[in-house]
Chain A
């Protein structure tokens, strides 16, 4: 199993550009989520999904869009990039809501918005 994969690893955007961060998992996990990590702020939840076709907002959803058309993929779209979106983005997955279900993380995407 590849686990949770994210592409690209690094990205530089100009203000106003749009892009999609890709996330895929091959563990047949129902739950997937996107976080951003900023110095001094910890991990903050952007959006999450509990199954194909079901998504919901997290703590900091503004400026981001998600969809979940398949169990495997959970892309994160930046609609119009702003310097405040400069961050490291992590995708995570979990089998479902069981008490023994471990959460797995991807390696992250480091995004800089100029």
Chain B
């Protein structure tokens, strides 16, 4: 059974810092990995999706990397802003599964 872990569970940083969020998974036979953002009281919004054949994806200040062999993905946020404050979740779709497995998320606060 796929297990997805996100470390740290919470993070507080000053504005302007570059930061890295981690996602690890136990079964490397994945189809894709997706990073989501969730604002308080809201639904999940997709940020980036990395297919199993890809090493990274970029969108603006966000860069997500994937290393299947080590069972890890990182979400890099450059020049963090208070508007980046949210919970970030990763979801792994494993081969043979219909529905992704989610980590519990990293709660990020960026203070001015």
Does residue B71 face the partner (Cβ distance < 8 Å to A)?
Answer: no
Stretch at the interface among A13-21, A41-49, A67-75, A79-87: A41-49
Q: A102 and B102: CB pair below 8 A? A: no
Interface size class of B (residues with CB under 8 A): 20 to 34
- The answer to whether A33 and B51 touch across the interface, beta carbons within 8 angstroms, is no
From known contacts A42-B105, A43-B89, A99-B32, infer whether A107 and B42 are also in contact, taking CB-CB under 8 Å: yes
Inter-chain contacts of A4 with B (CB < 8 A):
43
Total interface residues on A, using CB and 8 Å?
Answer: 25
| Contact between B31 and A99, CB atoms less than 8 A apart | yes
A35 to B, closest residue via Cβ: B102
**A→B interface (CB under 8 Å):** 4, 31, 33, 40-43, 45, 48, 50, 56, 58, 90, 92, 97, 99-108
CB-CB nearest 4 A-B residue pairs: A42-B104, A105-B44, A105-B43, A43-B102
Where the two chains meet, the residues of B that have a C-beta atom closer than 8 Å to any C-beta of A are 31-32, 34, 36, 42-46, 49, 51-53, 89, 91, 93, 98-100, 102-105
